Structures are given as structure tokens and as C-alpha cells.
Structure 1
Amino acid sequence: MYKVTIINGDAETVIHSPHANGLKLETGTIKKEVNKIDSFNMSFFLNNPAYGKLKPFKTLINVLNTKTLEYEFEGRILNPNGSMDDDGLHVYNYECEGELGYLHDSQQKHLEFRGTPKELVTLMLNYHNSQVEDYKHFEVGNIEVTTSTDNLYVYLSAESTTFEEIDDKILGRVGGELRIRKENGVRYLDVLERVGEDKQTEIRIAKNLRSISQSVDPTEIITRLTPLGTRIESEDEGATDASEARLTIESVNNGLPYIDRPDLIAEFGIQGGSITWDDITLPNRLLTTGQNWINKQKIALYQYEISALDLFLIGLDMDNFDVGNSHPVINPIMGIDELLRIIGKTTDINNPQDASLKFGDKFKTLNDYQADSNKSARKVVELESIVNTQSSRIGGLLQQINNVNTEIGNVKNIIIDADLEELPNAISALEQAINNLNDALDGIPIYDLATPTSDGLMASADKVKLDGLQNYSLATEFTNGLMTMTDKQKLNRITVTGNIDLDDLLARLVVLETQ
């Protein structure tokens, strides 16, 4: 399914074949995350064509998905690591980084910038392109992010790489997500509001969900905010940008430079922090902006680590799992039934169906946080109550089943001994046991019946198997069924007194024994 190729100048070499019996890497793992540089870790033995041909930073490497005909990784070789096991077998390990890493190969220059986010991205990419080889060039793509005034006021630093400056000055201040896009051989860098889209393919228990773990990170919460605005020029001619003070809200906030959220302080205590708005020059506007920020603050970051089967690869799902896409995740035991977004994915090219996914960056408000805690507590109590009730019902049901089995044994003994005078009493006792069993069954929750396409009391896959079983009928004097026809003939020779229908009795016994 995957074809791995290395490129040295004009020479291309296949080091991993998509064919089952073809050339293989020992291991190959692709890791992707939103706004992170992709990575590819691989290992191979001495007999692989890659041996002796990999040069750090110079050798390019591509991983092609032959099912979708898209490159899932494009980048370059980084550092090598070799090892030898106790059998003397040499294994060579290499780390590779994606094309976004090319932005680490250039430095920006010290510059005061005022303008739109798109103008800033254009400025930084043009300067990057002027410093690096042609194959590392980026063109400005779709820039969707902006500010309330569509204006930035920032200082670029010569101490930072282009990637670091984009991460700080664009992603950190304006927001957005990076995407590399290629058209007609040209590499574009997009800064989108969001990468990916919402999908309908579910990840659920008993379908494709293998394991799931949840983590909650409330460490970034700010309960006492200090808003900071534009720099205030110092009267000291020797002052630098770093030593200049910033606009605060003290003059319009009763002498206090900070804003409190009492409800958050009650929940988490005082957690101080500051936010800087370089384009704000008036204290009143800074106060309003700071108040809006802390009022809308999201307090906890939820993330999920999920191992799921990618059924798209075998045609059972309409969507595969791509970073940035959102999928319905359903796990009733953990109380999860919501649309969650994939922010990271790990793919083993030798076992592509086993996808390790990171779902997260889902922030919760204070009400959400407290509601989830209360919901979890209630869920535990509800589960305990359900378990106790079900245990009691199952105990009663088992007792009724034992009674029915006892009565069935009595009826069998009477038939065998031909003690027909006691047969009516035995049947009456059996009917009473059946009634008691029905009463016990009425106490069990009713679930929908399964169909070949939907789960119910059993999985849909088991329903398909069950439908394939042979249906047996009651025996006659001429055909075998649930008993042999010889046994049926013997039973018919018994002379029964009273209003007892042996065929009806036999039918009842068969139903009971097959339940």
C-alpha cells in the first residue's frame, strides 16, 4: 500500500515496495500533528538499497499511498542511528522531517512591521526564499486569518528562524493552522482558520474503536488577567524595545492593573497571567478587550488517545482518518458521544489499518468542566444502581430457570415410567414454572432485535452467522427433527387419559430445552 522512495539529485531509489512480496523496510512510522512538522522514522537491514545512499539534510524521501495516490510524507533525511543485536544483525535507523522543516533553514532579520497578516507572511517567505535552495521555496497561499483591525504591529528578530517567527507572530498572535499545498509543481503555504472538515464516519465500540484514554489539562487557565497594550516610548534615549513599558489598565480600573474572574478563583484559586495586544493604544479599549477575553476564556483542554481500525482501507468505511478532520466518537461507558477532531495521527506503513489517533484541543468552559465532573459522579452512581438491579434480576431468573429444569426432568421421568396418572399434575407444575419464568423475564430490559445491518441484542455480524444456521422442525413418525422419528413413534404408542395433547406437550418441551 505504501511506496517509499529516496532522491539524491536526479537519482531515485525505491526502498519500500507496496507489493506484498516486494522489498520492505523493517519499520516505518509516519507522525503528523496540526501545526507541527511531520516526521517519518524508519529502519532497514544491510540488504536494503537505502544502505550507503542516505545523506543527512541532502537526501529527500517520499512516502506514497498507492491506494489514494497521495503523498502522506514528503521531506528529507535527518540523523542516522545504527544498532546490532546479539545475533550480529545490523539495523540502521533514520529520522526524517517533513517539508515544513525547510523553514528552519533560514533566519529572519530585525524589523519593525506594521500591516496585515498576509503581508507579514509574504514578507517572511520572500526573505526565506532569498536564502535557501530552490527546492525549499514556499509561495504565499491562502491566508484566512486576520485581526479585528486587520493590522499587526510586531518586531521580527534576527535570532529566530522563519518557522519560529511564523509560529510566534502569526499562529501565536492571530491564530490559524498551517497547510502545505502543491499545485503544478509549486509549493504553497496556507494559513487557514482550520485544516480538515467534519466527517460522518463513526468511531465506536464494537465497530472500529480498539482503545481510548482521556486526559484533561487545566494548567493554562488564567483567573487573574493583566492586560497589556502597545509599548510606551521611554524618555531614556538609550532604552531598548525590551525595556519600554506597556500600556496598562490601572488608570481606568481603580488603580488595579488586573481583572479577576471570581467564579474561576473560587474553583481554581488565583492563577495570574498576562495577554498582550500590541495594536491597542487606549486604556478603556484595553480594559474592554481584556474583560471580553477573560469572560470567554476556555479553562480546560481535553485530549483523547484513540487506537482505531481504519476500515476505509478495506472498503467498509467511506472516510479514512486524516489529521484535521472531525469524527463522531461514541463510547457510552466513558460518557463520550460527540464530534471530536483528529489533531495527531501515527501510521505504521507495515500495518496501516492500525491507526493511532490523537483527538483533542477541545476546550471546556467552567460550566462544562463542572458539568462533566457532576455527570461523571452521577454516571458512577447510576451504573452501581443498574448493576445491583440487574444482579438481583439475574439471580431471580436463574432460580426460575432451575425450577423449570426440575419440572422438565419430572415430566421426562413420568413419560419414561409411563406413570400417566401423574402426568397432568406434572404438566400443571411445569406451566406454573413457565409462568414464573415469564414474570422474571418481564423484569429484564428489552432491547431491539438485531438485524444483519444493525446491532441489537447481539452484534449484526453474529446475526448474519445465526441466519446461516439450519432450522430444525419437530420430528414426525416419518422424519427426524429435534428427536429421531423412532422416539416419536414410541411416544405416540403411549395411551394418554384425560385432555392432554402429547404433540402440544412435546412442542412445549422443545421450546423450553432450546431456550
Structure 2
Amino acid sequence: MYQVIINHENNDIVIGDITAKDISKRLLSGKINKERNAVGNFEFDIPLDNIGYNYLNPMKTQIRVLNTFTNKNVFEGRILKQSNLLENEGKVYKTFKAEDKLGYLIDSVQVYGEYNSINEAITALLNTHNLCVEDWKKIYIGEITLKVDAEEKIVLNYKDSLENIKDLISSYGGEVNIRTEKNINYFDYKDIIGEYTETEIKLGVNLKKFEEDIDPTQCYSRVMPVGAKLKTTDSEGKEVDSEERITIASINNNSLYIEDEELIKKIGYVTKILEYDDEEDKDALKQNAIEFLKTQKLSISNNITALDLSILGLKYDAFTLGNFYKLDVPFFNVDYYVRVVKETIDINNPHTSSLTFGDKVVDIKDYQLESKKQVTNYEQIKLEVENTAKKVEKINKSVTTNTKKVEILEGDLSGYVKKTTYNNFVNTINENFNKVNNEIKNIKERLTKLEGGTTT
């Protein structure tokens, strides 16, 4: 499943492998955390009897984590920090924290420079970086496709290289990534790094839990635009600003408000004041208000637990940070793409790994806020649930046997098994997916409630 590999004296050494019989290739724990536009990290505990115990040097040792099913590295970087631990029962081990290759940019500093484009600035930044570091930390310009309309020069300052990159992201947006091909590191800077995939997140397949939070509290059906403060004269005859502001009443049928009738029908009268401190043109104020109502967005946050079936050796694509996946939950009329914005991988217990999906932003008018009973899809979903339940009944007899195997895999360090045993298990896990039964039971209960019945 996952192998942890270090480079020691130009040789690759496996120091972590959940399927290895050899205890010298065993890590006590290991967890990878990755997030967009951030330096990813890998923290792990290594026991005294591990083959790599004395080969790990902060800032120097290169380390990677390989997914053996996809044959792709899910983490590449260097050892950063070390802690030595001795517990009262005599347990001796070390804890290490590694950072991914984006962290290499911390090791170099930039001089002040002004540039005409993002491409020119990144080229200069990487050239300076490469003059400051060892060969294995050098990074070369990759795909720079960020679209920037900068009227002024793009500036690099007297900071480390990563701080300069963060300043560029703060000013111009976009996403960055270090991509390694044939042992050469490339720096990519794009509007969005990721792609739309064919992998779906579906009930009864890889969707374990779904929660959709729709928050219309920051949406408004009526706005009052106000501009610059009106002038008045104080007791000494000096002109000063009053608290009264320019409004649109005189050009808007004596009304202070701009309203959206369609939104009023959906959310009622919800009013917001729009302040434009320097605006004295009433027509401009009115147009700003109209545009504000038109461009409002409704944020839909998702709390999704999705099972990455690729880690079990099944024929599903792995979830990848930044990629978009089709979310299909017909029971709630959910049919849209969600994006992985954060990923946590537990290399010893991959079943506990987690994914964080980003919020969906939609035009408020395109989303029906009223409660729906989902009558259209109800009968079809009910039939699918009943058919799936029949299949579940047929496999229940074999679940007990496989549950014992799961307990072995999910156990503590004594749970390491032979690779052949493990592979035999993952080849049958798709047919004996013991989570399905509980999911079906939950859905049937909800269906019963919709029919007006009760559950026991």
C-alpha cells in the first residue's frame, strides 16, 4: 500500500512498509498532511530497531512515500525536525517531521527586483534560488499559466523565496505546485492546479457520509446604496461632513432601495446597506446596487466522508489534492462537482485517511431554497435501495470471516500480515464491503419516515 523510502548515500532504503514481514522496516506511525498553496508535511515515529533509525538527518535526508498500487509518490521532500523520546516502560523511538519540496524555497533569499510579468518574476526567483542551494534542491520553471492584469511592475523583495511566492499569491491569486519528472523539480503556477475526473462519489459505492450545509444568511433581497457624506456648516461657519449620505431616492421613485422580486419570494425581505464613501454620482450608486444583487453567491459547504477505494487495490482512481470529483446524491438532488482542498493520509491505517472538500458557490437564484420532498426521485431511489439490500443479504454470511481480517489490519503493530494474505483480502473486499449494510439500513429508515411510518 504505502512504502516510506529514504535516500542514504545515493541508495534508496525502505524504512516503512505496512505489508513487510521484516520488523526492521516498520514505522510506529506516519501521517501525511497536504493542502493547497501550503508546504505539506509528513510526521512519523520510528523505533530503535528500524533499519533507518540512524540514517535520518534533519535538513539533509531526502524522503518519499510511495503508493504501491498506483506506483506514484504521494509525498516527496526532506527531513526537517527530529525529537528523541524515551518512555518510562523503556520504549525508545524518534519522531521526525518532513516537509515537501515546496519547503526548499525557504532555503534561499531574494533581492529587490521589478518585473514585467509573472513569468519573468518566477524565472528570476528560481534562478536566484538555484544559485543558493544544492543540486537536489534546485527547482526549474515549469508551467506558468496564471493570467494577471498587472498595471504596475511585479516586485520581489528582500525575503526568502517562499515568502515572495506567498506575496505573489496574495496579490494575484492562483495556485502553485512542485512537480518532479525524471528527478528534475519543476515549479508550476496556474489559476487552478487540478482537473475534473471521471471518478464519482456515489451512495453505495464510495460515499460513507454526506452533509450539505446551505447558508443563505449572507444573501440579500433588498439593498440601500449610500454614497459620500453630505456637507454641512458648523457653528463657526466651516464646511464639514455630516452623518447624512447621498441616496438614490430622487432618481428611484422616492425609494431608497433596490429590490430583487424573485429573491424576495424565496427568502423574504432581507436588507443590506451598501456604503460607497467616495461616490457622489446617484446613477452610479444605483447601478452598483443592481450589480450587487445580480452577482450574489450562495455558499454550500459539504461535509463528506468518501472512501478512497484505490488504497484497497480496487479499480478506482485515487483521490488527488486539487482535483474535482462528481458528487452524486440523488436523495437530495445533489449532482455537482466538489474539489479536494485538503488531504490527510495515515500510512499505517489508510482506512482512517480523510479528505476535505471545498465549498460550492452557486448563483442564489439557481438554488431552490424551499424545502423539497424529492418526490420525483423517491420511487427510483427506493427501488435501488431495495435491490442493493437484497445483494447485501447474500454477502452477509461472508462478512464475519472478512471482519476478522479487517481487525488484524486495523490493529496495532502486531497486526502486520504477510503480503500474500493482505493481497488476497483486498481482492475480495469489493464483494464483502461491510459498510454497505449500515448505509442501506440508514436509507431505508429515512424512506420509512418519508412514507409516514416509524422505525424500530
TM bin (shorter chain): 0.5 to 0.7
With over 3 angstroms needed to count, the CA separation of the structure-2 counterparts of 1:215 and 1:11, relative to structure 1, is farther
Q: Secondary structure at the match of 2:52?
A: coil
Looking at structure 2, the residues matched to 177 and 300 of structure 1 have their Cα atoms a distance apart, in angstroms, of 24
Q: Secondary structure at the match of 1:321?
A: coil
The match for 1:426 is none
Q: Per-residue deviation at 1:465?
A: 5.0
The match for 1:21 is 21
Q: Which amino acid aligns with 1:48?
A: N
Q: Per-residue deviation at 1:117?
A: 1.5
Matches within 5 A, 1:215-364: 269=272, 299=297, 302-331=300-329, 336-364=334-362
The match for 2:134 is 133
Q: Which amino acid aligns with 2:391?
A: A
Among 456, 462, 470, the residue aligned to 2:392 = 462
How much is the aligned-residue C-alpha RMSD, in angstroms?
4.3
Is 2:340–2:358's contact at 8 Å kept on the other side of the alignment? yes
**1:2 is the counterpart of 2:2:** yes
Q: Per-residue deviation at 1:110?
A: 2.1
Q: Which moved more, 1:358-367 or 1:102-111?
A: 358-367
Q: Percent of counterpart pairs with the same letter?
A: 32
With over 3 angstroms needed to count, the CA separation of the structure-2 counterparts of 1:317 and 1:366, relative to structure 1, is same
Q: Per-residue deviation at 1:30?
A: 1.5
Is 1:125–1:138's contact at 8 Å kept on the other side of the alignment? yes
The number of residue pairs the alignment matches comes to: 349
Cα deviation per residue 1:373-417 (whole Å; 9 max; x = unaligned)? x24xx14xx49x9xxxxxxxxxxxxxxxxxxxxxxxxxxxxxxxx
The match for 1:154 is 154
**1:116 is the counterpart of 2:105:** no
Is 2:224–2:289's contact at 8 Å kept on the other side of the alignment? no
Q: Per-residue deviation at 1:86?
A: 5.1
The match for 2:167 is 168
Looking at structure 2, the residues matched to 130 and 267 of structure 1 have their Cα atoms a distance apart, in angstroms, of 58
Looking at structure 1, the residues matched to 274 and 39 of structure 2 have their Cα atoms a distance apart, in angstroms, of 32
Looking at structure 2, the residues matched to 342 and 99 of structure 1 have their Cα atoms a distance apart, in angstroms, of 20
Cα deviation per residue 1:444-470 (whole Å; 9 max; x = unaligned)? x855896xxx6544436327559x9xx
Q: Which moved more, 1:330-339 or 1:123-132?
A: 330-339
With over 3 angstroms needed to count, the CA separation of the structure-2 counterparts of 1:291 and 1:137, relative to structure 1, is farther
Looking at structure 2, the residues matched to 324 and 45 of structure 1 have their Cα atoms a distance apart, in angstroms, of 34
**1:71 is the counterpart of 2:87:** no
Q: Secondary structure at the match of 1:341?
A: strand
The match for 2:282 is none
The match for 1:100 is 102
Looking at structure 1, the residues matched to 74 and 386 of structure 2 have their Cα atoms a distance apart, in angstroms, of 38
Cα deviation per residue 1:412-439 (whole Å; 9 max; x = unaligned)? xxxxxxxxxxxxxxxxxxxxxxxxxxxx
Q: Per-residue deviation at 1:80?
A: 2.2
Cα deviation per residue 1:3-40 (whole Å; 9 max; x = unaligned)? 21222443543211363424221111112222221211
The match for 1:395 is none
With over 3 angstroms needed to count, the CA separation of the structure-2 counterparts of 1:224 and 1:125, relative to structure 1, is farther
With over 3 angstroms needed to count, the CA separation of the structure-2 counterparts of 1:300 and 1:138, relative to structure 1, is farther
Is 1:116–1:151's contact at 8 Å kept on the other side of the alignment? no
The match for 1:471 is none
Looking at structure 2, the residues matched to 460 and 327 of structure 1 have their Cα atoms a distance apart, in angstroms, of 29
Looking at structure 1, the residues matched to 18 and 8 of structure 2 have their Cα atoms a distance apart, in angstroms, of 21
The match for 1:482 is none
Q: Secondary structure at the match of 1:127?
A: helix
Cα deviation per residue 1:189-238 (whole Å; 9 max; x = unaligned)? 1112322222222223332222345567999999999xxxxxxxxxxxxx
Cα deviation per residue 1:271-293 (whole Å; 9 max; x = unaligned)? 8899xxxxxxxxxxxx9xx9999
Q: Secondary structure at the match of 1:146?
A: coil
Matches within 5 A, 1:448-459: 455-459=385-389
Looking at structure 2, the residues matched to 168 and 128 of structure 1 have their Cα atoms a distance apart, in angstroms, of 16
Q: Which amino acid aligns with 2:348?
A: N
The match for 2:55 is 53
Looking at structure 2, the residues matched to 83 and 42 of structure 1 have their Cα atoms a distance apart, in angstroms, of 13
Looking at structure 1, the residues matched to 120 and 40 of structure 2 have their Cα atoms a distance apart, in angstroms, of 26
The match for 1:62 is 64
Looking at structure 2, the residues matched to 329 and 353 of structure 1 have their Cα atoms a distance apart, in angstroms, of 20
Higher fraction of strand = 2
Looking at structure 1, the residues matched to 97 and 31 of structure 2 have their Cα atoms a distance apart, in angstroms, of 10
Is 1:181–1:187's contact at 8 Å kept on the other side of the alignment? yes
Q: Which amino acid aligns with 1:204?
A: K
Looking at structure 1, the residues matched to 212 and 30 of structure 2 have their Cα atoms a distance apart, in angstroms, of 27
- Please report the TM-score for the alignment, with normalisation by the length of structure 1: 0.57
- Please report the TM-score for the alignment, with normalisation by the length of structure 2: 0.64
Q: Which amino acid aligns with 2:160?
A: T
Q: Per-residue deviation at 1:122?
A: 0.8
Matches within 5 A, 1:359-374: 359-367=357-365, 371=367, 374=369
Looking at structure 1, the residues matched to 125 and 294 of structure 2 have their Cα atoms a distance apart, in angstroms, of 32
Q: Per-residue deviation at 1:99?
A: 0.4
Q: Per-residue deviation at 1:98?
A: 0.1
Q: Secondary structure at the match of 1:123?
A: helix
With over 3 angstroms needed to count, the CA separation of the structure-2 counterparts of 1:448 and 1:346, relative to structure 1, is closer
With over 3 angstroms needed to count, the CA separation of the structure-2 counterparts of 1:272 and 1:205, relative to structure 1, is farther
Q: Which amino acid aligns with 1:207?
A: V
Is 1:107–1:128's contact at 8 Å kept on the other side of the alignment? yes
Q: Which amino acid aligns with 1:28?
A: G
Q: Which amino acid aligns with 2:80?
A: L
Looking at structure 2, the residues matched to 302 and 449 of structure 1 have their Cα atoms a distance apart, in angstroms, of 26
Looking at structure 1, the residues matched to 276 and 99 of structure 2 have their Cα atoms a distance apart, in angstroms, of 34
The match for 1:35 is 37
The match for 1:242 is none
Q: Per-residue deviation at 1:83?
A: 4.0
The match for 2:193 is 195
Cα deviation per residue 1:297-317 (whole Å; 9 max; x = unaligned)? 665655434332222244544
Residue ranges of structure 1 left out of the alignment (5+ in a row): 226-259, 275-286, 386-444, 469-515
